[in-house]
Amino acid sequence: MAGGRRKKHHFSRIHAFPCGKASFESDLSLIGGPGFSRVIYCNDPECFEAGVLNYGKTMLELPTVSNVVPLVVVIGATMGKELIEDWRRKRQDIEVNNRKVKVRIGDGVFHHTKWMNLKVGDIVKVEKDEFFPADIILLSSSYDEAICYVETMNLDGETNLKLKQALHETSNLHDDSSFQDFKALIRCEDPNANLYSFVGNLELREQQHPLSPLQLLLRDSKLRNTDYIYGVVIFTGTLTCNSMEFIKFSVAGTSYGRGVTEVGRAMAKRKGSPLPQEVIQEEAHVEEQTEQKPSIKGFNFVDGRITDGHWVNEPRADVIQKFVRLLAICHTAIPEIDEETGKVTYEAESPDEAAFLIAARELGFEFYGRTQTSISLHELDPVAGRTVERNYQLLHIIEFSSSRKRMSVIVRNEEGKLLLLSKGADREFQEQTKEHINEYADAGLRTLVLAYRELDEEEYSEFNQEFTDAKNSVSSEREEMIEEVAAKIERDLILLGATAVEDKLQNGVPECIDKLAQAGIKIWVLTGDKMETAINIGFACSLLRQGMKQVIISSEAPENKGLQKMEDKAAAAAASKASILRQISEGKALLTASSESPEALALIIDGYSLAYALQDDVKDKFLELAIGCASVICCRSSPKQKALVTRLVKTKTGNTTLAIGDGANDVGMLQEADIGVGISGVEGMQAVMSSDFAIAQFQYLERLLLVHGHWCYRRISSMICYFFYKNIAFGFTLFFYEAYASFSGQPAYNDWFLSLYNVFFTSLPVIALGVFDQDVSARFCLKFPLLYQEGVQNVLFSWRRIFGWAFNGVLSAILIFFFSISAMEHQAFNKDGSCRPRDPRSHHVHMRRVGG
């Protein structure tokens, strides 16, 4: 019995590595030959061979330590990083919560209290260079006008100081004792993430007074240039370089100002036409006059008829006086006077506004003082021939809005006259100053119209009541109510003239756009400029070229002008929509007709028409036309329209969209796009805070896309394919080994080799490839922009390439495994017939796989 069993054991090949070929006559042949590879002894539990052939478990068993250690290392490193960051945050929280601020307590005295102990309704006193411990409503300050300067760099990244001003009714709370009998009730909106809006009112002595962002001091902003402020806690816990220059203006039908703008010069260069001889002579004259006087930032105005007080000799000097006075009064800027030199500088909301104030000062109307209720000027009196001081009582500021496209102020002059001064878009006043506005637009200048009218007491009294009621409202319709009241008063205005401000192009903008176009990137311009300005900037920036056909969809079409004056607004809107549809259809017909010709098309549409083009039943037709054009320019676009156009392209085409902007009006567009790029500039950091990438100048977009975009696409796609390859090669060597081991579950490699394969042995090459790989130099990428199309067409991450890498992994596994098995074939047994350990063989296969 025993001998028979030994004989059977002698013929069994189950334990043998392929040291020789299997016999076809053998009943128990190896895998790969006929027959079966498993020998089973039925109902014979005492059989020695059966014990050898039986498996203790049906699962592969590896030591616990080698399985757990890599997991512990990865999770432990992540937890350690989070622990360090949490500890740092905890220390910061402790430090912030234990800061101290002066708070008025029950005995009427201000004592230092920790920030963490503040409660809603507490009266706090914040001193110079201290941070605000909570969201606070400003009550008063060390200034008589109850103003203070605030630095909000911690909130929005902006370094320029912002002016805040308390209500006139609380501005007399100048010292600690003045709060002895102070009682008030504040109603306001719930806390939200919006830094630039606030709705509420303050009830004092049974009278309500509107609160606005002008009175709101946000936590973590800093008090600057102000000795102290008093406030009440309301919440606790929780493309251009914008270098604006005043160039020209038009008053009473006469245009003033000389010189050629950068856009005009660049446009002439792009069109291939030289500057006219008279323009060259005018430039030489301007340069000669400029050399004789020091340059003034924001003021590049040259005209002997106006400068140095000569405007008093002009035929319409009275209109010029009103025009420049309006520039000096209609704004929200704050003057800062240098105590040593007496020089006045301006903190303005926009570069345009600062340029207007500098221009007014240079023309004899210097804005030098502002309180809650007054504006002070040094004016050149044309009668007396000298500078005099004038004070204007400031009654109301009707702030700029994107729907009205204007801002206004209501003042009372020293003679007691009530004046409404307004500046804004030129749409309402084009007829009287159209020629000069178009001339300025052709030069690439930003135009603005100035107008005014006198108010009578009865009309102002009615407006004052309605406007106060609207501002005191805390409902969601507050802004609409204010707009409605403002529209009633801003009518029947008398045109004074128009301004022209040059928004200087950054260095390298035309070249950058040209390179991006060569790379196959379609560029759309969404701007608030008027159509003529946008077209000429398009020529200057290479978006528009000579020979390009322009498809213009405009509300200025003759039939639309009549429609806008119709009494029936619904009928007018329907007719306007039909007109826009007709223009889109004509554009599509032109697109179809020009498909056989090499001439490209450019689509240009204004904001009024765009509102209809974005309606649900029109937007598909508009998008079809826009996609077929080489360039698209949307003029007079509101922030909402910019975001809607971006969403339309992203959702309907499925293409990746990138938006780039530098102002608060670009935030919606940046957030809607797949990739938002913010430009940090004078207009603030709101665009940067809302973007995915931030750059200092527009020209850096060229390197960001063409160089880093190309490199990153290649790195990431190659890295992912490399991951597929190495893991497929790893998995198939295990599969082949199990086939040779009769699927016994015997591990092919040392358990540490298995566990550390991805964590250590093969991670560094993949990471190095994903971080440092550069197929070509940066200079080569910029020289040949079409390389960017490698990513657009997904050349390196197509299914064909992925399957190619996978097949390469399978092939590598075959070569590595069978080469190693063949090489180690005669080393499987010792001389005495015993099996050698598998570690040398598995180590050899593993090293070949890692090294291969």
Which pLDDT belongs to residue 284?
A: 42
pLDDT > 90: what percent of the chain?
Answer: 17
| DSSP per residue, 522-547 | --EEE-SS-HHHHHHHHHHTTSS-TT
Q: How many C-beta atoms lie closer than 10 Å to residue 349's C-beta?
A: 20
- 529 phi/psi in degrees, rounded to 5: -70, 160
pLDDT band of residue 762 (cuts 50, 70, 90) is confident
Strand partners, 336: 345
* 97 annotated ligand binder: no
Mean pLDDT for 281-310 is 47
Task: Please state, in angstroms and as integers, the Cα–Cα distance from residue 766 to each residue in 71, 343, 723, following that order.
Answer: 19, 61, 7
Separation of alpha carbons 471 and 302, rounded Å: 43
Q: Comparing 318 with 349, which gets the higher pLDDT?
A: 318
* 636 annotated ligand binder: yes
Contact (Cβ atoms closer than 8 angstroms) between residue 248 and residue 440: yes
* 265 annotated ligand binder: no
Mean pLDDT for 751-759 is 73
Tokens standing for residue 831: 């001389």
Q: Comparing 110 with 400, which gets the higher pLDDT?
A: 110
Which pLDDT belongs to residue 454?
A: 92
Model pLDDT for residues 446-482, shown as the tens digit of each residue: 678 888 999 999 999 999 999 888 887 767 677 788 8
Most confident by average pLDDT, 423-437, 467-481, 610-624, 676-690: 610-624
CA 592, 594, 599, 604: dihedral to nearest 10 degrees? Answer: -50
* 57 annotated ligand binder: no
pLDDT for 752 beyond 90: no
Residue type, 752: W
pLDDT for 193 beyond 70: no
Tokens standing for residue 830: 């010792």
* 172 annotated ligand binder: no
Residues of the chain with CATH 2.70.150.10: 100-235
- Region of poorest pLDDT, from 106-110, 644-648, 772-776: 106-110
Sheet with 240-251, edge to edge strand ranges? 254-256, 240-251, 494-505, 446-455, 418-424, 406-412, 386-401, 374-381, 365-370
CATH topology of domain 506-698: Rossmann fold (3.40.50)
Chain centroid to Cα 383, Å, comes to 52
Chain centroid to Cα 237, Å, comes to 28
* Averaged confidence pLDDT in the chain: 76
* 160 annotated ligand binder: no
SS3 76: helix
Task: Please state, in angstroms and as integers, the Cα–Cα distance from residue 485 to each residue in 436, 459, 490, 603, following that order.
Answer: 31, 12, 9, 37
Q: How many C-beta atoms lie closer than 10 Å to residue 141's C-beta?
A: 25
Model pLDDT for residues 27-74, shown as the tens digit of each residue: 444 444 444 444 554 545 555 555 555 555 545 555 666 667 777 877
Mean pLDDT for 303-322 is 70
Strand partners, 379: 365, 388
Which pLDDT belongs to residue 510?
A: 82
SS3 421: strand
Which pLDDT belongs to residue 293?
A: 40
* 642 annotated ligand binder: yes
Which pLDDT belongs to residue 243?
A: 44
* Domain at 100-235, CATH from 1.10.10.10, 3.60.20.10, 2.70.150.10, 3.20.20.70: 2.70.150.10
Model pLDDT for residues 199-224, shown as the tens digit of each residue: 888 888 888 888 888 899 988 888 98
CA 167, 172, 176, 178: dihedral to nearest 10 degrees? Answer: -110
* 89 annotated ligand binder: no
Which pLDDT belongs to residue 9?
A: 40
- Region of poorest pLDDT, from 320-324, 755-759, 787-791: 755-759
Separation of alpha carbons 126 and 372, rounded Å: 21
Q: What angle do CA 142, 146, 148 make, to 5 degrees?
A: 70
pLDDT for 247 beyond 60: no
Most confident by average pLDDT, 31-40, 120-129, 817-826: 120-129
Which pLDDT belongs to residue 408?
A: 92
pLDDT band of residue 804 (cuts 50, 70, 90) is very high
Residues of the chain with CATH 3.40.50.1000: 506-698
Mean pLDDT for 94-107 is 85
Which pLDDT belongs to residue 644?
A: 93
Which pLDDT belongs to residue 5?
A: 43
DSSP state of 618: T
Contact (Cβ atoms closer than 8 angstroms) between residue 345 and residue 335: yes
* 665 annotated ligand binder: yes
* 529 annotated ligand binder: yes
* 423 annotated ligand binder: yes
pLDDT for 161 beyond 60: yes
CA 733, 739, 745, 749: dihedral to nearest 10 degrees? Answer: -30
